[in-house]
Amino acid sequence: MDMTLIRPRAKLVKMANYNLSINQLVEFNTATDAGKRRIIRQQLNPDKFRVQWYQMAKACIRRCIQQQCDPKPIYEGLREITAKVATTKRQQSDKAVSIEALERFLDLKLPAELSSMTYSIIKPVEKTVEIADVEIIVAPEIVLRGQLNGRKVVGGIKIHICKGNPFDREKSLQVAAVIYEFLRTKVVKPDEIVLPELCFSLDIFGDRIVRAPKNIGRAIHMIDQICSDVKLYWDAA
Tens-digit pLDDT profile for residues 102-161: 999 999 999 998 988 999 999 999 999 999 999 999 999 999 999 999 999 999 999 999
Please classify residue 118 by burial: count the beta carbons closer than 10 Å to its beta carbon, then call 0-12 exposed, 13-18 middle and 19+ buried: exposed
CA dihedral 30, 34, 37, 38 (to 10 degrees): -90
- Whole-prediction pTM value? 0.89
Cβ 178 vs Cβ 74: under 8 Å? no
The whole-number pLDDT of residue 15 equals 44
Low-confidence ranges of the chain (pLDDT < 70): 1-16, 49
For residue 168, the model assigns a pLDDT of: 96
| 102: region left, alpha or beta (phi > 0 left; psi from -120 to 50 alpha) | alpha
Calpha distance 127→135 (Å, rounded): 10
Predicted local distance difference test score (pLDDT) of residue 6: 39
